[in-house]
Amino acid sequence: MLVIRPIEQRDFAGLKTCAIESGTGMTSLPVNDELLQRKIDASTQTFSDKPAGKGECLYFFVAEDLETGEMVGTSAIDAAVGLSQPFYNYHIGKVVHSSPKLGIYNVVETLTLSNDYTGSTEICTLFLRECAREGLNGRLLSKHRFLFLAEHPELFDNTIFAEMRGVSDQNGHSPFYEWLQTHFFSLDFPTVDYLTGIGKKRFIAELMPKYPIYVNLLSDAARAVIGKTHEKTRPAIRMLHNEGFVNRGYVDIFDAGPAVECELHNIRSVRRSRRLTVQVGDPIGGHTFLICNTRFGQYRACYGSIGVNPETHEAILPAKMAAALKVQDGDTVRAVELE
């Protein structure tokens, strides 16, 4: 059984393994010991003393295999991006060039550098190791964050968004970035991806084009991947679309992967989740639910078959699941059915 919990200091080795295995394009998991330790420190500080409201707080979670004790995945929530250093996207827009006298009317797409997600909440750092990619583990690792958002909405912005990894090959070559590199940078994609991941973003303001880019001036290869996701990211974006997330025309500034967003209260799993009182026992004819306890510092989440009585608002949990969630008779959990 996998259980989701806040990251701890003992997870450093597992976190570094995830960073190495995630490869190029996973900006929030750079292979850098100092930065990975800073993420652990930031998250443990957040979970040790619950914030009074929304701020620059990192909520970093890991998936632990209870049978082996091995850490097999990561996911996180960045409560408010862009407050201490700029958070950049390109926004896809349109301009019209027309001459009624000549009978010419052309609509041209543009990419304009923006900071429109400043202050918004980002769900990020989703990575599940190959050894654990089975069953509903991927959904658990991603969707449990919606239960956490539902349980603690006062800590987050109304706009929840996710940046999806854009197209790049196994060697880290990004068609979109290669065009940027040719005209504006002298750094390869893995290098800028790494610098961004460790927080050294000043070069973006210094080297990025200051004016809108006309899309029709890009190479064919660069145009073809704007708004497209990496093949390994497609299941994740399908899941987010099913939750109500949509693309509003924002893409990553380096690989042109799409950003998708949804208002917190409109996220499907947030809307459909409910609080239930725990009864430990053997559920009969249960359904598969994603469940979390309602604690903060001792947050736990997992999935499994439980019995739900909608009239009494009770959840019948097997003893093993109750132990994983650190709950007992009379405690409260939040749950949403997995479909």
Q: Nearest CA to 265 among 121, 164, 142?
A: 121
Which residues are known to be catalytic?
230
* Structure token digits, residue 211: 């004016």
Alpha-carbon gap, residue 231 to 70, rounded angstroms: 27
The enclosing H or E element of 109 equals: strand 104-114
Q: Which residue has the tokens 């027309």?
A: 98
DSSP, collapsed to helix, strand or coil, labels residue 40 as helix
Q: Nearest CA to 316 among 287, 338, 296?
A: 287
Alpha-carbon gap, residue 259 to 245, rounded angstroms: 9
- C-alpha dist (Å) from residue 232 to 4, 122, 142, 147, 311: 22, 20, 14, 24, 42
What phi, psi does 212 have (nearest 5°)? -55, 145
Q: Nearest CA to 201 among 81, 120, 121, 112?
A: 81
Alpha-carbon gap, residue 339 to 320, rounded angstroms: 22
Beta bridge partners of 309: 314
Is there a contact between 112 and 93 (Cβ–Cβ < 8 Å)? yes
DSSP alpha helix (H) spans, 105-165: 137-151
